Amino acid sequence: MTARTSRIAATSPPRRDRRAGVSSLRPVLATILARLGLGVLTLLIVTAIVFGAVELLPGDVATEVLGQSATPETLAVLRAELDLDDPAIIRYGRWLGGALTGDFGVSLANRRPIADLISTRTVNTFFLAGYAAAIAVPLAVGLGMIAALYRNSTFDRLISGSTLAAISFPEYFVGYILILVFSVHLGWFPSLADVAGGDGLGQRLHATFLPALTLTLIVMAHMLRMTRAAIVNLLALPYIEMAHLKGMRRWRVIAVHALPNAMAPIINVVALNLAYLIVGVVLVEVVFVYPGLGQLLVDSVAKRDFPVVQAACLIFAATYILLNLAADIMSTVSNPRLLHPR
């Protein structure tokens, strides 16, 4: 009887463990679904705000295309051809209905399909953001670990001061300084990030180095300081002190014991800064005349090309929302304690 009871007890707990695991994941799944629903609502609000902002601008695409010398008759004919005489809410509803089916329509300025306009530009923007992230993330995490290891030293003060200085300047100022130093005086890199479809990877990396470096200097400060702060907070815990007392090297203590427990805030700030790389690339693209989605957005606003502006803003907003959601999910997965329903 005792052996049978022990066999039953040995086979029953896994069922309870599986149920406990499923129940612990339910709050996470509910949070993800809630964030997705909130993200869809945010996208709708963003498109409405952008449409209203474009409508408030003086003039329209007809006046931008025909110029100041256009007669009222020619303006009326072009507005009728472009359906600009329809009420604003009807034009917005027409665009929204097409966007829900994946059809962004045609550009009002040049009558080209918007999908053709934004496809190459979107690839260029994501390439520039990925290039900057490939430089910024390892550099920020590595320097943050070194600054935490040698905190309150000259190196730590130098890193903290330089990152604060870089984050205090706007993107366009940093970009112009880099152009002045590396393009005008040294002549190492081109001042205009001109890329074409037939360029090789090496040519593209060389042409886009200055805009990527600009973005790196802007976003690296947040990630570096968060990495340093997270590791410094863990270094005062008892198990870290015990590792030091056992004679472990300081680098091994940080890399093996401190860094894994600090991954949740580090992953969160990295994902948020990656979202900023996608959205904040607009000014950098304008400074370096880079043929990306941000440059297309600025040109379309100048031309009052409402459908192109809406499509570009929708891509930026969707990317930002998805990366924020990814930050929440990765932070939760990297810290199993957050999986507990309490």
Joined together, the tokens standing for residue 55 give: 């409508």
Q: Would you say residue 336 has pLDDT above 60?
A: no
DSSP three-state, residue 308: helix
Q: What is the mean pLDDT of the chain?
A: 75
| Residue 318 to residue 278: CA distance in whole angstroms | 10
Condensed to tens digits (0 to 9), the pLDDT of residues 8-20 reads 444 444 444 445 4
Q: Which two tokens stand for residue 128?
A: 């520039």
Cα separation values, 87 from 57, 93, 107, 295, 333, Å? 16, 10, 19, 29, 48
Q: Which of 157, 136, 155, 332 shows the shortest CA–CA distance to 224?
A: 136
Asked if pLDDT for residue 49 goes beyond 80, the answer is: yes
**∠ at Cα 116 (96, 48), nearest 5°?**
20
SS3 82: coil
Judged on CB neighbours under 10 Å (0-12, 13-18, 19+), 176 is middle
Give yes or no for residue 194 having a pLDDT over 70. Answer: yes
Say how far residue 11 (Cα) sits from the centre of its chain.
Answer: 48
Domains and CATH numbers, the chain: 114-339 (1.10.3720.10)
Per-residue model confidence as pLDDT tens digits over 118-171: 888 888 888 888 888 888 888 888 888 788 777 778 887 888 778 777 777 777
Q: What angle do CA 151, 156, 159 make, to 5 degrees?
A: 150
Residue-wise pLDDT for 96-106, tens only, equals: 777 777 777 77
Which of the pair, 311 or 65, is modelled with greater confidence?
A: 311
Q: Provide the b/e sequence for 24-51 (b: ≥16 CB within 10 Å).
A: eeeebeeeeeebeeebeebbeebbeebb
CB 312 within 8 A of CB 293: yes
**pLDDT > 70 fraction of the chain, expressed in percent and rounded:** 74
Helix or strand (DSSP H, E) at 134: helix 114-149
From CA 76, how far away is CA 72, in angstroms rounded? 6
Cα→Cα distances 74→66, 99, 275, 290, 303, Å: 8, 30, 44, 34, 17
Q: What is the Cα–Cα distance from 100 to 93, expressed in whole angstroms?
A: 11
Q: Is 193 helix (H, G, I), strand (E, B) or coil?
A: coil
User: Quick one: which H or E segment has residue 213?
Assistant: helix 209-235
Band the pLDDT of 7: cuts 50, 70, 90. Answer: very low
Q: What pLDDT score does 164 carry?
A: 77
Asked if 176 contacts 257 with a C-beta cutoff of 8 angstroms, the reply is no
Query: Do 234 and 152 meet the contact criterion of CB atoms below 8 Å apart?
Result: no
How far is it, in rounded angstroms, from Cα 85 to Cα 81? Answer: 9
Q: What is the reported pLDDT for 87?
A: 75
Determine the straight-line distance between the first and last CA of the chain, rounded to whole angstroms: 39
When pLDDT is cut at 50, 70 and 90, the band that residue 1 belongs to is: very low
| pLDDT, tens only, 28-48 | 677 677 777 887 888 888 888
pLDDT at 229 over 60: yes
The SS3 call for residue 268 is helix
Whether the pLDDT of residue 338 is over 70: the answer is no
